Structure 1
């Protein structure tokens, strides 16, 4: 794309609003900024759209959102009148312009004769997935940028099962986008006309109550087995989780829930934090202060759209962070033990994780006779399996999780669900507190039983066109110059997800793998340690996931550091 030519086209278009025009005029002498805004169109993929807010083709703005919504409306319509009549559910989070983009999307859908069920205020992402299923909708839209910095917003698309779209639908939407000029889109009916025609319906407490009921049904233990006095500090990080999380905890009888006041109310500027991602322990700064005041047992943080959550535990007076793998392992152990105790482990049970999630959960699942299945990253891939099992009855979904603090213990939502996960975490903490244990005590018991697993995820951020090109070079070159030896371990197996093949370097045999194609590569060493590299699908970064297992925690952590240094040293040589 000729970025200067496109910049001038935008500036010269009479349909451009004045605010956007002024914004673009203000950067007329900044070629680097013009290039970043116009060197490409914000890509529409299986994660929908996500980017910085602002005027330009490579930004989130009303023009880009309107075109994507028109394209989605055309795809929905292409499936016939009966499908179109199912309508669409639309939700949004706390971010800047989220409410504006959601209402505009609803009115565009109404203009196509597609009934839009629009939430009357912000809601957690899992509730959007639930609403798609509750109303039997054809599709869903969620205006959110999840845990990205405040400058970002995004646009996620869901299909009739309530899970995010995969490539088959995304490619159709993209094809329609490519047919449209961003400044030449159909006219949109007014809110009044849409309401009068029954093509716009505001969703309120009816869906909330149905969702809360389903969340509460996930409880694994009787009240007599749980210490409800467990003290919980909770922060929604100024996002969408506040009401939902507090409601289900209160209804389940957890009354000692202390909310971080500075991060309680929705605020898309995230005034207390630079990066509203609970994976980053800096997100817990305010929570930790409150935890010390209240003598808390656990600290829970949900991200701005409340589909992911992170946990910290107070253990022997010290606040200890759990990573996503550790939280997932604790939930798997708690759920499977609870089901076993009540003789409720279902027929053909399965847990689903991503290819970059650790192996400790697999070992635990196996000990209960539960199958672990690995899929590509993203809950769209995790939830694709229960979508299939609904039809085939082949397996029974028990749990799905990712190392990036996403979990789903239920089938009524087909996405990550921080609300359900918060309920189970609170219950789990209360269950073990009644036995005189913290979650760290339980985790240590699991390490003793299954081995000492360690993990780390490193993100190398490379922004702009040059960054994007370097990430591409890194992914290409690492396939040729990977470390053959790390410490005393030699590389034993390479799984190239782009080629969809696995090579055993001991026997020099290559076999095809039954998993969808993606740009990721995994290196397994003969001591059982491994790492995977992949570019982020939503942010300008390349991600390195490292996993080790050893006889002691210290040995496991030492291996982790050794692999990290060795791999990054090689990666940084690629310019």
Structure 2
């Protein structure tokens, strides 16, 4: 019997596994490929936690993989959380999110660790805020962000409110590896946990504190009050957790004309109106665009299911709706935020903007033009959060803004993760502010291009499922690492940054970045949570057409080689 088959049989015989799960496993008897995919490995606990397809098996999201991860986290909290360790738990609108959240709480309680659980679904950034507010030892969000409906996940946060960075995640992973069977996962009943004061429910009081923190970042409430009567916003929460908090933030800073896309307003685990609940994709805005055209809206904003990513759509110079990329929205917010601070004489001399290595240089150039320092981190907001916490203790820099090209932004120091609520508020505020000067955000973007150069970016990705896919991605990375191109389209490759060796004091990560002599670059990065490899491309031209041609050539060269 193979190791995989042995594990499959072990689950079927395990008395600690419920009958429903066993029935699901019995239904795939004889399906060797399916059994292998479910059992060939444990669902990986990466630096972001767990993420996978919901179902029975070691390589799936289920009560048992969640219980095992939580047992390991409980041990981490007991070791690092002082005399009274506690963990805050939030969850989104996905299948089994409430069940996974409660399971985690009961395992924590079974280990004597207090669990604070939000009574209904909440956005990820509010969890980050609550961990800090309650001075908890850790946090959990049950979400798979913008993945398809069959996925769920389990993100883990440290005491600073940021996702666990590698050295902490490694401690939790080491604890997981010591757990031999599900019978060693300690758990008590909900009644017992509540009676012992080890399970406490969070509600409106925490929401109120969070809204106060978010709206404190508002820059021009006076302008909003003047323009709010005729400034129209269409908003879609894409069936997720953003509906209440985004509307509340917009209302509190004075916006009156906000229309929510009716069909996407309520939580829906199947995200039935969209192919993917991802504000990075134009398709996700189909219904919002319909409403915006009908109502002649000034801006559309959309947030993903756990409300940590925000996408925006604005009118171009022909009055057509133009979808901003994450890089473009980031650059606009940097300009608006730093410009507003400068206007009021509040721009600190030690201000810092933090972005990731795969984010456009446009926002960096804008920030530097205002005299701010710009720092790069590895991909993942946890690294931006880590820098924020470092500067909070050293005072070396004052954090102004952090962002990544994948539609994640944070202004303010109340949280340590990207926040679509504050991002939606700021992009709408920026649009209203520039409208009062007779400009759209598209006009502002064109001004920034003319001033700083035409920056263009593109992201391509390739999904290669299963065990074979993972191996193929590994071979692809080795090929580029060992055989880097000398030139592309006649432009010399000036430098290859191999982040697996550790660069500029950053943690080691399997990422390759190729920098060309003309300032363009591309990057290969396997996903840490999905069987996917991402290809990032960026160029800078003196005109829009020049940049578009450069980008086309760069993308073609890289993808042709990948296909070969």
TM-score, scaled relative to structure 1: 0.96
The answer on whether the counterparts of 1:351 and 1:372 sit within 8 Å (CA) in structure 2 is yes
CA contact (8 A) 1:241 1:419 kept: yes
Post-superposition CA distance 1:85-119 (Å, at most 9, x none): 14111100000110001111111111222111110
Hey, what's the Cα distance between the residues in 2 that align with 1:182 and 1:100? 21
Quote the residue 1:527 is aligned against: 518
- What does 1:112-511 align with in structure 2 at a 5 Å threshold? 112-224=111-223, 227-228=227-228, 229-315=230-316, 316-500=318-502
The CA deviation at 1:372 is 0.5
- 2:524 and 2:105 mapped to 1: Cα distance? 38
Give the conservation status (yes or no) of the 8 Å contact 2:67–2:185.
Answer: no
Distance 1:52 1:208 in 2: 30
Return 5+ residue gaps in structure 2 as ranges. Answer: none
CA distance in 2, matches of 1:444, 1:39: 51
Q: Which moved more, 1:147-156 or 1:26-35?
A: 26-35
Distance of 1:266 and 1:81 partners within structure 2: 37
Q: Distance in 1 between matches of 2:31 and 2:281?
A: 33
Q: Structure 1 residue 187: deviation in Å?
A: 4.3
Helix, strand or coil for the counterpart of 2:163? coil
Shift of 1:81: 4.5
Kindly indicate whether the alpha-carbon contact (under 8 Å) linking 1:52 and 1:152 is maintained by their aligned counterparts in 2.
yes
Task: Tell me how far apart the structure 1 counterparts of residues 390 and 165 of structure 2 sit (CA, whole Å).
Answer: 14
Equivalent positions of 1:1-12 (< 5 A) are 2-12=3-13
Deviations 1:23-57 (A, max 9, x none): 11111122111111111100112110000000000
What is the alpha-carbon distance in structure 2 between the residues aligned to residue 435 and residue 465 of structure 1?
A: 55
In the aligned structure 1, how far is the partner of 2:415 from the partner of 2:99?
25
Q: Are positions 1:91 and 2:90 aligned together?
A: yes
Secondary structure, aligned partner of 1:456: strand
- SS of residue in 2 equivalent to 1:383: helix
Instruction: Give me the whole-angstrom Cα distance separating, in 1, the residues matched to 2:545 and 2:75.
Output: 57
| Contact 1:64 1:182 (8 Å CA) reproduced | no
Task: Give the whole-Å Cα distance in 2 for the aligned partners of 1:128 and 1:183.
Answer: 28
Alignment check: 8 A CA contact 1:236 1:242 kept: yes
- Summarize deviations over 1:221-257 as a string: whole Å, max 9, x none: 1413662231111100000000000111111111111
1:61 aligned to 2:62?
yes
Shift of 1:80: 6.2
3-state DSSP of counterpart to 1:380? helix
Deviation at 1:140, TM superposition (A): 0.6
Deviation at 1:413, TM superposition (A): 0.7
Residue matched to 1:504:
none
8 Å CA contact 1:482–1:570 kept in 2: the answer is no
Local SS of the residue matching 2:209 = helix
Structure 1 spans left out of the alignment, 5+ residues? 502-512
Instruction: Show CA shifts across 1:141-188 (max 9, x none).
Output: 110110111000000111111101111211111111111134223442
Aligned partners of 2:502, 2:180: CA distance in 1, in Å? 36
Aligned to 1:102: 101
- What SS does the aligned partner of 1:441 have? helix
For residues 532 and 80 of structure 1, do their structure 2 counterparts lie closer, same or farther at Cα, with a shift above 3 Å needed?
A: closer
SS in 1 for 2:495: strand
Structure-1 separation of matches of 2:186 and 2:406: 41
Q: Under a length normalisation based on structure 2, what TM-score does the superposition of the two structures give?
A: 0.97
Equivalenced residue count is 560
**How do 1:537-548 residues align onto structure 2 when only pairs under 5 Å count?**
537-548=528-539
* C-alpha contact 1:278 1:303 (8 A) present in aligned 2: yes
| Residues 63, 182 of structure 1: 8 Å contact kept | no
With over 3 angstroms needed to count, the CA separation of the structure-2 counterparts of 1:516 and 1:187, relative to structure 1, is closer
CA deviations on 1:267-306 (whole Å, 9 max, x unpaired) are: 1111111211110111001111111111111111100000
1:58-104 alpha-carbon deviations (Å, 9 max, x no partner): 0000000001101110111123652xx14111100000110001111
* 1:41-60 → structure 2 map (5 Å cutoff): 41-60=42-61
Q: For 2:555, which of 544, 547, 564 is the aligned residue?
A: 564
The Cα RMSD (Å) is 1.2
CA distance in 2, matches of 1:194, 1:23: 30
- Contact 2:81–2:137 (Cα < 8 Å) also in 1: no
> Is contact 2:308–2:420 with CA below 8 Å preserved after alignment?
yes
